[in-house]
Amino acid sequence: MTFLELLKPQAVKVVAAASSKKRLMHDIADLAESAYALSAPSVVEALMERESLGPTGVGHGVALPHARLHGLNEVKGVFILLEKPVEFESVDRQPVDVVLSLFAPADAGVEHLKALALVSRTLRDAALCNKLRANPDAATLHAILTEDRSSQAA
């Protein structure tokens, strides 16, 4: 699995600011709806349900909200770079500005876990995150995220 398989160019966006974590979830859902024709209300509901189990802010300004959705047949992702970080209840209590959200089929098995591992491993790279933060252009962000990292592929 690669970022190229997970993330289409239309699923990458720069957002000036989100007023709250919940607003960010709505921004993610709107992007998922426009990029993949997913139901925004269903996406928000699934993301918030998953967050109720424990925050998906993994630290260092990165969040990986994810959910399983009925009607999907493969794992999909959306990426948002926030120009102004938002409080996210992250493990390190730092606000987030790099957000990659994954959506998997309701009955997804190992593919969902492989995608989550790939995203987590990739966004743990501080140099990559700094590069993302320094390039607030959706097309450039997509190019950075999808460049060949075959040595890291799941």
pLDDT band per the 50, 70, 90 thresholds, residue 134: very high
Residues in the chain: 154
Asked if residue 89 belongs to a domain, the reply is yes
Quick one: what percent of the chain has pLDDT higher than 70?
Answer: 95
Residues linked to residue 103 through DSSP beta bridges, in sequence order = 67, 76
Asked if residue 129 belongs to a domain, the reply is yes
Per residue in 37-50, pLDDT (tens digit) is: 999 999 999 999 99
Asked if residue 153 belongs to a domain, the reply is no
Number of domains into which the chain is organized: 1
pLDDT of residue 40: 96
Asked if residue 43 belongs to a domain, the reply is yes
pLDDT of residue 101: 97
Q: Is 60 a known active-site residue?
A: no
pLDDT of residue 153: 42
> How many other C-beta atoms lie within 10 A of the C-beta of residue 35?
18
Cα separation, 154 vs 12, whole angstroms? 21
Residues linked to residue 17 through DSSP beta bridges, in sequence order = 84
* Domain carrying residue 50: 3-147
Cα separation, 17 vs 81, whole angstroms? 9
Asked if residue 154 belongs to a domain, the reply is no
Number of H helices, E strands in the chain: 6, 6
pTM over cut 0.75: yes
> Which carries the bigger pLDDT value, residue 10 or residue 112?
10
Burial class (CB in 10 A: 0-12, 13-18, 19+), 5: middle
- With the C-alpha atoms ordered 136, 140, 145, 149, is the resulting torsion angle positive or negative? negative
Asked if 48 contacts 89 with a C-beta cutoff of 8 angstroms, the reply is: no
Asked if residue 57 belongs to a domain, the reply is yes
Residue 115 confidence (pLDDT) above 60:
yes
Question: CA angle, 108 as apex, 106 and 109 as ends, to 5°?
Answer: 140
Asked if 147 contacts 153 with a C-beta cutoff of 8 angstroms, the reply is: no
How far does Cα 131 stand from its chain's mean position? 16
* CATH, residue 59: 3.40.930.10
Asked if residue 71 belongs to a domain, the reply is yes
Asked if residue 73 belongs to a domain, the reply is yes
- Tell me which of 26, 60, 66, 112 is the catalytic residue: 66
